[in-house]
Every structure is written in C-alpha cells, then in structure tokens.
Amino acid sequence: MSLNFRIVLVEPIYQGNVGSVARVMKNFGFSDLALVNPCPLEGEARAMASHARDLLENATIAESIEEAVAGANLLVGTTGITGTKFDEHVRIPAHIPRDVKKKFEGYSGTIALLFGREDKGFTKDELGMMDMILTIPTSQKYPVMNLSHAVAVILYELSDVQAGETPLADPFDIRLLMEHFSQVLEDIEYPAHKMEKTELMLKRIFGRACLIPREVQTLRGVLRRIQRHLVPKNKND
C-alpha cells in the first residue's frame, strides 16, 4: 500500500509495553517503529516482542519528536483524555479510529501515529504539534488503556485502510502555509490573546482535511492576494 504508518512512542517507561507494541505491529503488518528517548530495552522487551524482535532491533531511536516524525506528512496524536477545562482547545476535536481510517482513504504518504508516556501522556506543547487528535471510545469508569492495547485497537482498525494514489501535502509546505496564515493574522491585527488558539484551530482543520499539494499552493495564493489588498499599516494609523 502507498500509505506508511509510523508508530512513534514518546518516552515509554515500561520496556514490556515497547515489546508488546512491536508484536502487535507485526501482527497487523506494520513495521515502522520510532522511539523517542525510550527506557532501556532489554530482556523483557524482547520477551514481549516474541517473534517481532526484528521490529524492536530496527526501531529508530530519536532524541525528539521532531526527529522521530521526520518526513511524515501528518502527525496524529493519541490521547485517552479528550479535553479538560484548561486545555480543551489542544484536545478537540478528537476523532475515533473508525473515522480517522475513513479520512485516510485514497491517500498516499507517511502518517505518524504518536503515543504518549504511560503515566503522563503528552505535554500541552506536544499536543499542539499534532495535526489530528485520535481517541479510543472507552468507559467513563476507567478510560485509561494500557499503551499496547491502545496501539492494538488502532492498528486493527487501520490494517485494512484503502490507500490510494492521492499524495498528502509535503510537511514543509504545510509549515510554510501555517506561517503564512500567522503573518496574515498579524497583518490584520488579530487580537494577541486569541492568536494561539486560532492558529491551533487552523492547524487541526487542515490536519483533518488531509490537504493535497495543489490545495496548499492555492491557499497560499489566496493569502498572498489578501495581503496585497490590505490597507498598508502606516496609512491605517
């Protein structure tokens, strides 16, 4: 298939979980594993990986999320906690695995699926990096899943996604688009206290829209044209 899913574990603390993740990846036919500052991986990791030790040995070890997701077109962060009062906007909207799968249909590219620390999940800044937030619908009574169980459920769902030939936009071009939007917001004197939330909202809208290269270029053209039609700042004073 022309969609590659990279499983990224961010600072996992239990080596048994890392091994279990390797096993279930191989069960469902995935092989691209990246670990950001993992715990030491020794006998227990290999035991839990069982016949998927090769995945463990070939895993990319990275020192930062940026390094682990290099080249990925989309960053999808998984969280069991879908919005608390203080950080709602970084966790919403959260998509369920079945819907995320539908969004990817017909595309080609590399999608990074990120999983946070077993105890603390992602930091707010890390969540802000994600193009899409994924959550597994669980019981309110006990929503916190074991890491490898969460990976199992998501890979089960994604294992038969119908990939296609439509390329996902280049991550570098998307970053330029987001920076361009921020410039325009500044140009129109957008209120500073709303800036961060609105930038994040735009990122999430474009993230779940799975932009293609031409769309990014057209959007940038629109932004350039807007900028040309703005009243120059010194005249407006």
Question: What span, in angstroms and rounded, lies between the C-alpha atoms of 177 and 131?
Answer: 13
Identity at 11, one-letter amino acid code: E
Q: How far is the CB of 159 from a second copy (least distance, A)?
A: 7
x-marked contacts with a second copy along 41-80 as a string, rule CB under 8 A? -------x-xxx----------------------------
Q: How far is the CB of 102 from a second copy (least distance, A)?
A: 14
Alpha-helix residue ranges (DSSP H) falling in 30-170: 43-49, 53-58, 65-68, 88-91, 97-104, 124-129, 147-158
Asked if 161 is part of the footprint of a second copy (rule: CB under 8 A), the reply reads no
| Cα dihedral 142, 144, 149, 154 in deg (nearest 10) | 110
Asked if 119 is part of the footprint of a second copy (rule: CB under 8 A), the reply reads no
Q: Binders of a second copy among 133-152, rule CB under 8 A?
A: 136-139, 141-146, 148-149, 152
Q: Which of 6, 9, 23, 65 binds a second copy (CB under 8 A)?
A: 23
Asked if 1 is part of the footprint of a second copy (rule: CB under 8 A), the reply reads no
Residue among 28 and 190 whose Cβ is closer to a second copy:
28
| Number of amino acids touching a second copy (CB under 8 A) | 28
User: Which residues neighbour 89 within 8 Å (Cβ) at sequence distance 6 or greater?
Assistant: 197, 200, 201
Q: How far is the CB of 74 from a second copy (least distance, A)?
A: 23
Identity at 31, one-letter amino acid code: S
Q: Which of 2, 159, 183, 217 binds a second copy (CB under 8 A)?
A: 159
Asked if 20 is part of the footprint of a second copy (rule: CB under 8 A), the reply reads yes
Cα 186 to chain centroid distance, Å, stands at 26
Q: How far is the CB of 144 from a second copy (least distance, A)?
A: 7
Largest CA distance in the chain: 70
Angle between helices 15-27 and 147-158 (to 10 degrees): 10
Question: What span, in angstroms and rounded, lies between the C-alpha atoms of 105 and 226?
Answer: 33
Residue among 90 and 150 whose Cβ is closer to a second copy:
150
Asked if 168 is part of the footprint of a second copy (rule: CB under 8 A), the reply reads no
Prior bond to 40 cis, omega within 30? no
Residue among 146 and 227 whose Cβ is closer to a second copy:
146
List residues binding a second copy (CB under 8 A).
20, 23-24, 26-29, 48, 50-52, 136-139, 141-146, 148-149, 152-153, 156, 159-160
